[in-house]
Each structure stands twice: as structure tokens, then as C-alpha cells.
Structure 1
Amino acid sequence: MEEKQPHTQLSSEIDTDNAIIVGDPARVDKVTELMDNIRSWAFNREYKSVIGEYRHTRILVMSTGIGAPSAGIGVEELNNVGVKNIIRVGSAGAMQKDIGLGELIIGEGVVRDDGLTQKYVPDIYPAIPSFKLLSLARKYAPDAIYGIIRSHDGFYMDDNAKNEAFWSEKGIVGADMESGALMVIGRQRHLETLSILNNVVLYEGDLSTGVNNLVNGDDLMAQGEIASLKLALDILSD
């Protein structure tokens, strides 16, 4: 049997080049409700994975936990086992006042405000998604919010409000913690990548309330979560 990847416990036996990554291991269970022929694969640390089918396409779904470092490890190990297309389905905080709860935010590029990607490439290197996957997103979700998002490293720094106001003024539409790592590492490893985010916090809203409401299944955010997962499945099975 082929040796497994050390963190994700994946091997090429997954036999697919399509993957969806999510932050929360619980979201892996939610996406399986939309798929057929589900097989649990592994659960080590934050990396929970299953294999299933959607429209006769074999797709791996795996959680990566919170933040760029764990997402980066996940992307590297997916590449190591032959995955070529990776879509992140996660949550975001809106950076503009007209973006409602549960609306989908799709990154056309990322402000790399994280520490990990600077270890790969200089700051001037852009973080951009796959044109192929982005085009398919526009096909299936023409009414989603498209624009530049910002990936950062934490929620509780003293200058967060100041930083968010600055980037909001520059037209950034949403914020997360993993998309920059996905897109930068993806480009280095010749992968097709995309990030689909469900808005869980209104701009200048309370972060704790938004995240807790997502956990508790608030209707708008729960609908957005399912819509984002289905969009990823539609794109990968196109």
C-alpha cells in the first residue's frame, strides 16, 4: 500500500483530481448530504476527508482547520496525491456595507495579508484564482459578489478595525484567512484553484455573533453555506 501523507493521511488511492476544502470538519458532513456513494477516508488532527460522487464525478472533500498554515499543508498534500482542481468553500466577513448575510463572495484575487505566503513568494506576487474555475463560477452563480478579498492571520489584534476600514475603502469585498495560501501555493504547484465564501458577518458587525450564528444554523447563513457547497460541486462536475 502506498505511504500516506503525514498530516492528511491521503494517498493516491483517493483516485480523483477534484477536491473541495473547507475549514470546519463539521462542514464535511454537510456536503456529503449533497453527494452519492460516500466513503469516509481519514480524520487526523483538523483534516477530515471523505470521497463521494456528484453527477458521476468523483470528488474528495477535506477540512483544513483555521488559517493559512494548516490550509497550506492541506493543499501541498493534495497536490502530492494527484489532485489538480481545488475549490475552497468557507466563510467570510463582508468588507462592504451592501453585502448581506448568506450572500456568496467569490474571490477574483486576494490581498496577501498573511505570513505563510511570504515564505513562498515575494509580496509583489499576486494571489489569483484559476480563470477556468472562475468562469464556471460565473456560469453557475452570476449573481454572487465578485471582487478582491483579503486573507489575514487573526481576529483579535488591536488594530483590526483600523485595518478593515482601510481595506474597505480600497474596494475589498470580503475577508477570510485561507484563500491567499490556496491561490499562491496552487500557482506554484500548477493547480486550478478557486475560493467561494459564505458571508457570515456584516461589515462592521460583531464577529462573535456572526460566527456563533453560523454554528447555530442561522437561516440565511445556513442557506448560504449549502449554496456555496453546491456551487463548488457544480463547478467540479461541469
Structure 2
Amino acid sequence: MPFPNVADKHRGDAVITPEKSVEYRDDQSDAGPPAVPEAVVLCYSRGLMEYLTDARDGREVDSYYGDLYVFDEFDGRVGVMGNFGIGAPTAAMMVEELAADGVEAFLSVGFAGCLQDDVEMGEFIVCDRAIRDEGTSHHYAESAKFARPTEPLFDRITRTLADRDEPYRVGPSWTTDAIYRETVREVESYANEGVLTVEMEASAVFTVAAHRGVDAAAMFVVSDYLGTAEWEPKFHLTEDDMRRLGDAAAEILADRTE
């Protein structure tokens, strides 16, 4: 049996669309359509979301299954969406609904497990392609090994990180739904291919953004190391690195919208 079960389903028309969903939402609200920023940081870390909203003045937008916060310092052009969960399905839903409301660019940021032992703690990983080992993206586009970020936003990331003197590494990531089924054989295979990280959202974000005609990219902080013999969690050492990542993401999107 193929996956998805109905062949070529990515070519078909959807019954429920994000446009219909947000239209229904707005019809039920006295406030009308929300005022959204041009670009949004997708944030999967509760700690990072708390830091960004505490450290920067802004306003909340109460229209979503997560918390959208728009920064004042960028004249309302940049915001952060967080507290909506983790994984490809919820990230895809956020991209769909925010794009339907007018958001034009998404920068997905968060933790990632590392498959290469020469990557240092504190280095940012900028994803240049993501292996589509999650289920969501295959409902949006013909199956292929990789999904890719949009080139202008990817280039903006590398330029801004260089200007900030931030250490970073560019390479592929493995996106999977099954955090507790990252097997020894897979880790060994992808490490041998030169894949840098494993996470749960990037390939879906890239694919849905391409489907909607908006920009998307992703970058990560290394939180743990996956070897074939052992797992080394380092989450407790990442707080400062994650905050730097969030600050850099907001600046990158602000530069893009100028």
C-alpha cells in the first residue's frame, strides 16, 4: 500500500482549508481578523518563549491554538508563535493558519539532537535541507527524500549570523515524528551521510510553506548527542544558547522585512 494511502493525494483539493477555518473563526469573533506580523519565529521551547516575551515589549494576539506575540521594537513586523506543542502536525497547522492570515515568512527554531561528534555545544545549526521522515509533508507534496528552505531567507540567516559573529554550521537534518524510535541503524546511516541533526519539524515546515508560497527556514541549538552506543543529553546546558538563538531569529526576520 502506498503512503499516503490514496495515491497522488497531494494533487487533490482539500475539504477543510485554512482559509475556511480562519473565516469561521473570524465570524465567531467580535474582534474580526487578527493583525498579524509579516514574519514569525516558530518556537517549540517553553523556556525560549518565556524569555522572548518577557525580554521584549509587545502585544498578544489571541486567535490561535498557540500564543502569538508581536514585538513592538520591530514596528509589529515580527512576532513569535509558541506554546502550541511540538512536532510536524502542529507546526504545519500553525504555518497554514498564519499564512492564511497574511504571514509571509517563518523561521523555525528549537532543540536538535546531534549525529556528529565534531559539532560543538553552542554552535547553531542552519538547516540547508531536511529529510522527510515525518508523515505530514507527504500529504502536501510528492514524496522525495528532502525538503528545502527558501533560498532568500536561508541566505539572510547565514549573513546575519556572520555579522553577529555567531558560530554556526550548515548542513542537513533528519526530521522524524518518532522521537523514541530513532534507531541505531538509522543514526549510523544518517551520520555516515553527513547529516548533522535530528528534530521533529523542519521538513514539514519547509514543505507546507512551499505549498502556500511563503518563505521558511530553520535553525537549531544542539541539545543532545546521539551515538550508536549511547545517548548524551545536554539540555541543561543550553539555556544561554537558546536565548541567543531566539534573539538572532528575531533579528534575522526583522532584517528580512525592512
Q: TM-score range by the shorter chain?
A: 0.7 to 0.9
Change in 2 beyond 3 A, CA 1:77/1:101 = same
Deviates more, 1:59-68 or 1:172-181: 59-68
Q: Does the Cα contact within 8 Å between 1:14 and 1:51 map onto a contact in 2?
A: no
Match of 1:206 among 218, 231, 240: 231
Q: Which amino acid aligns with 2:206?
A: M
Q: Does the Cα contact within 8 Å between 1:85 and 1:193 map onto a contact in 2?
A: yes
Q: Deviations over 1:137-168 (max 9, x none)?
A: 111213311011110112212x6222111101
Find the aligned partners of 1:176 and 1:136 in 2 and give their Cα distance.
22
Find the aligned partners of 1:57 and 1:15 in 2 and give their Cα distance.
8
Find the aligned partners of 1:96 and 1:175 in 2 and give their Cα distance.
11
Find the aligned partners of 1:231 and 1:210 in 2 and give their Cα distance.
21
Match of 2:148 in 1: 128
Match of 1:237 in 2: 254
Q: Does the Cα contact within 8 Å between 1:34 and 1:230 map onto a contact in 2?
A: no
Match of 2:159 in 1: 139
Match of 1:65 in 2: 85
Match of 2:25 in 1: 4
Q: Does the Cα contact within 8 Å between 1:14 and 1:60 map onto a contact in 2?
A: no
Find the aligned partners of 2:73 and 2:239 in 1 and give their Cα distance.
21
Match of 1:13 among 34, 46, 57: 34
Change in 2 beyond 3 A, CA 1:74/1:15 = closer
Match of 1:177 in 2: 200
Q: Deviations over 1:19-58 (max 9, x none)?
A: 111113442221124433x11223865x122121334453
Find the aligned partners of 2:44 and 2:146 in 1 and give their Cα distance.
23
Change in 2 beyond 3 A, CA 1:98/1:190 = same
> What does 1:3-82 align with in structure 2 at a 5 Å threshold?
4=25, 12-36=33-57, 38-42=58-62, 47-63=66-82, 64-82=84-102
Q: Does the Cα contact within 8 Å between 1:151 and 1:180 map onto a contact in 2?
A: yes
Find the aligned partners of 1:175 and 1:190 in 2 and give their Cα distance.
26
Change in 2 beyond 3 A, CA 1:125/1:100 = closer
Find the aligned partners of 1:54 and 1:32 in 2 and give their Cα distance.
12
Deviates more, 1:60-69 or 1:24-33: 24-33
Q: Does the Cα contact within 8 Å between 2:109 and 2:245 map onto a contact in 1?
A: yes
Q: Does 1:119 align with 2:139?
A: yes
Change in 2 beyond 3 A, CA 1:29/1:103 = same
Find the aligned partners of 1:105 and 1:203 in 2 and give their Cα distance.
15
SS at match of 1:237: helix
Q: Which amino acid aligns with 2:90?
A: S
Q: What count of residue pairs does the alignment treat as equivalent?
A: 223
Match of 1:223 in 2: 240
Moved over 4 A (4+): none
SS at match of 2:62: strand
Percent identical residues: 21
Q: Which amino acid aligns with 1:23?
A: Y
Q: Which amino acid aligns with 1:29?
A: E
Unaligned 5+ residue runs, structure 2? 1-22
Structure exhibiting the larger radius of gyration computed from Cα positions: 2
Q: Which amino acid aligns with 1:198?
A: V
Give the C-alpha shift of residue 12 in structure 1: 4.2
Q: Which amino acid aligns with 2:53?
A: T
